[in-house]
Structure 1
C-alpha cells in the first residue's frame, strides 16, 4: 500500500454568494506538483432569476484548467473565439499557455430558471517549455467522455486523461498525466497501482471512503507518500472522487493572481502583456 502522508480538509472560502471550498493551496498544503489549485463550488441551489457564476472576463497565462460540472452548467467564452455551454457530467479543459482572456458564467437558461449547482475547477501547471504555447479549449458533454466500469458496475470511471484499464482519456494532455472522475456506489471498491515517481491528486467530492484502511470524508484531499504501492478504495456510502497522477516537473514556480510562471520577471511580463492587449480582444 502507498502510505497516506496527510489528509487535508478543504477551507471554506465563499465567493460572493457562491459556496466555495478549497483544499489547495492552504496553510497545510501549498500544491502537489503539477496539481496547483482546486476550488470546489457548491453544492447549492440557486433560485430563479439569479446572477449565476461570478467569473466574468479575466486573464490567464502559464497554466491549464480542468473544470468538472457535476450539477448546473457553465458557459465558457474566451478571447480565442471558443464558446460553449457544458452541463452535468461534462468537463472543460483549457490551456492558457501564452495568454488568453476568458469568462466562466452560467447560461441564460440557468440564470432564468435556477437549479442545483456543483462545479470544481483544478489548475494544472505547465512545464517551462510549454508555458508560452498556443492557448486552446475543448468542452465535452457527459456522453462525449469515455467511461468504463469496475467491481461489477459498482464503480464507474469517467476517463479524462491518460489510460486506465484499456480505456483512453477523452482529452490529450500537454504532459504525461492520468485523471479520472470516479462514481462509487456503496460497497464499491477498486485498487490502483501508481508509480512512486508520480504525485497523486486524490480529492473526495462527496461521500465517505475507506482509503488504504483509513476513513476519508467528503471535501478532503488525501496526500500520499512517494513510494511504490497501490491505493485501495472502498465506498462506505455513495461517493464521487477525482483521482489524478503525474510526475512532478520539479521546476521553480511563481504564482500570482491568474498567472503561473517560473520567475517573478515572467509574472511582471505577463501583467505588462495583458495590459498591452496581447492576450487578445474581448468582443462579448
Structure 2
C-alpha cells in the first residue's frame, strides 16, 4: 500500500501532542463493517458507508473501497459511460492505474497516490477504465471513490477537474514519528492539502506503524469518519477495536485518536486509515443512481436532460455499433 511516502518521516512537520486540559478526544458512536459487492464491469468493492445514516455522513454520500485485488492478465475492469449530476467524486488510487474521460473533453491518468477530483455539478458523462497495457499485463489494483454532496447553490456549477498528484499532498507526522499523515484536502494542524472544495471538508490518509498512536486535531464543527483500508487497530478514547473494511463514526470533540495494534498481519503490516470530515450541509436529498439533487422534480429533470443528451454525448469513437443511450441503473 505505497501511495506516497518518505524515507524519513522525522524531517516532516509534526502535529501537536494532545493536551487533555484544552481538547477532547472524540468518542466512537458506532463501528460498521462494509459489505462486499461489484461495481462497473465487475471490479470488487467494499461499500464503506452501508448501514450508516445520511445524518451522520453529511456532507458525504458514498464510499467504495475498490480492491485490493491482484488481477491476472486480461482481468482488469472499469466502468461503462455513465452520467453524474449534483455532487463530486473523489477517486484516490493507492495501487494501480486508472484512465478517466468525460463528454466535455476532460480526462487524464491517475496512479499510485494520485487523486482525481471531479465536480459533476450541472452534469456530464464519464468513464473510468484501466489502460490497455494494464489489461494486458494484469497487476495490483487498489483505490477509493468518495462521493461528496454539493449544496443547493452549487448543484449546477460548471463541471471541473482537479488532478492532484501524490507528491502535492501535505505530509505530516506525529511527535514520535510513528505515523505518516497525508492531507489531501482541507487542513490538519494548520497544514493545507491541495484539494479545492465547494463544501468545507478535510480528507487524509494515515499510515500508522505497529504500536504507534495518532492524536489528530480535527475541526469541532466537522463530522468525523475513519475507514480502515488495511490492518488492525483501535479508535477513540476507549480504544475501540477496528480492522480492514470497518468504518468508525465519531461523536463530538476536537481530536481523533487512532492507534495501531502492535502485531499486524503480513498482508497488512501497518494500519492504514482514510479519515474524512466536513461541515454538514443539512439540506434535503433526492437521490437515485448517479444523480443527487434536492427535490424529486430536479431528479426527474436530470433523467430527462440525460436522455435528451443535454449532459453531453459519448464520443463517436467510444460508441459500439448500434448502441444507444440507456437510462442509468
1:248, 1:219 → 2: CA distance? 24
Structure 1 contact 35–201 (Cα < 8 Å) conserved: no
- Following superposition, the deviation at residue 264 of structure 1 comes to 0.6
Equivalent in the alignment of 1:49? 74
Count, aligned residues: 281
2:184, 2:91 → 1: CA distance? 11
Unaligned runs of 5+ in 1: none
Greater displacement, 250-259 / 149-158: 149-158
2:291 equivalent to 1:259: yes
**After superposition, what is the alpha-carbon deviation per residue over 1:58-115, rounded to whole angstroms, capped at 9, x for unaligned?**
0000010111111111111011211211111111111000001110100112111110
Identify the match of residue 228 of structure 1 among 249, 253, 278.
Answer: 253
Unaligned runs of 5+ in 2: 1-24, 265-269, 319-329
TM-score by length of 1: 0.93
Equivalent in the alignment of 1:189? 213
Equivalent in the alignment of 2:62? 37
Structure 1 185/138 Cα, relative in aligned 2: closer, same or farther at 3 Å?
A: same
Greater displacement, 243-252 / 161-170: 161-170
Equivalent in the alignment of 2:228? 204
- Following superposition, the deviation at residue 28 of structure 1 comes to 4.8
2:184, 2:214 → 1: CA distance? 18
- Following superposition, the deviation at residue 146 of structure 1 comes to 2.8
Greater displacement, 97-106 / 211-220: 211-220
Equivalent in the alignment of 2:139? 115
Structure 2 contact 99–108 (Cα < 8 Å) conserved: yes
2:148 equivalent to 1:156: no
Equivalent in the alignment of 2:3? none
Structure 1 7/130 Cα, relative in aligned 2: closer, same or farther at 3 Å?
A: same
**After superposition, what is the alpha-carbon deviation per residue over 1:121-162, rounded to whole angstroms, capped at 9, x for unaligned?**
110100010010000112233223332222443211111111
**After superposition, what is the alpha-carbon deviation per residue over 1:149-204, rounded to whole angstroms, capped at 9, x for unaligned?**
22443211111111113321111111211111112221232112434432112111
TM-score by length of 2: 0.81
Structure 1 contact 146–159 (Cα < 8 Å) conserved: yes
